[in-house]
């Protein structure tokens, strides 16, 4: 690894106005797509703990987890926005589709995952799709909330805002293998107290 020359320790003071100006010009040209979507975050449980014990096998498992999630999400009409190391972030046209896809992902992990699992958080609301690179990214309150909720998500289950659950419960499947837990109040960083509901799949 090449280290900076100690005799040039003041190189951080170099001015680069062109880099700043290019960024400002780029911002003026970006195209925004604004709409209401469901946002889903699929996360490999306890990957950090496993990474400490065995980095190589955990990285392989992370890649496998994300590929399985991507395949199933896309087959269920979702759009994978990006991969986040041990997770993927996806959007759906509505919350029932997101829940249906999440249940299908969990089902297939339990049946064919050979011990691999996932956990899912789902929110919905107005987001902005913006392409800052070759691929679009998403921004907005639902995206940030989905990230905060993941702290409370459980293995083989979905965690969803109670307000969203009340909006869609008539669309959700009535199956004895699906357990709808009672809502629980949790404190989300920057968002305060929110009622969250766990949907678990037992199969």
Whether 18 has a pLDDT exceeding 60, the answer reads yes
Reported as a single tens digit per residue, the pLDDT across 120-151 is 999 999 999 998 877 789 999 999 999 999 99
8 A C-beta contact, residue 125 and residue 162: no
- Could you give the CA distance from residue 48 to residue 52 in angstroms, rounded to a whole number? 6
- For residue 73, what pLDDT is reported? 97
8 A C-beta contact, residue 101 and residue 77: yes
**Domains of the chain, start order:** 34-201 (3.30.70.1230)
Reported as a single tens digit per residue, the pLDDT across 151-197 is 999 999 999 999 999 988 888 878 889 999 999 999 999 999 999 99
Q: Where does the chain show beta strands of DSSP type E?
A: 32-43, 79-83, 87-92, 119-131, 136-139, 157-161, 178-180, 184-188, 192-201
């Amino acid at each position: 690894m090449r280290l900076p020359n100690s005799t040039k320790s003041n190189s951080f003071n170099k001015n680069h106005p062109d880099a700043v100006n290019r960024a400002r010009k780029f911002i003026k040209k970006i195209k925004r797509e604004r709409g209401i979507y469901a946002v889903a975050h699929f996360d490999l449980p306890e990957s950090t703990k496993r990474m400490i014990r065995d980095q190589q096998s955990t990285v392989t498992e992370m890649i496998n987890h994300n590929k399985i999630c991507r395949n199933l999400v896309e087959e269920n009409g979702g759009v994978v926005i990006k991969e986040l190391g041990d997770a993927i972030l996806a959007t759906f046209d509505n919350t029932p589709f997101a829940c249906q896809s999440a249940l299908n992902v969990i089902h297939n992990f339990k049946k064919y995952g050979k011990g691999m699992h996932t956990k899912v958080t789902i929110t919905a609301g107005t987001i902005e799709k913006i392409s800052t690179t070759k691929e679009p990214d998403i921004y907005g309150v639902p995206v940030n909330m989905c990230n905060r909720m993941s702290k409370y998500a459980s293995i083989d289950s979905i965690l969803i805002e109670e307000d969203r659950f009340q909006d869609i419960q008539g669309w959700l499947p009535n199956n004895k293998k699906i357990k709808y837990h009672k809502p629980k109040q949790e404190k989300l960083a920057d968002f305060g107290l929110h009622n969250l509901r766990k949907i678990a799949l037992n199969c």
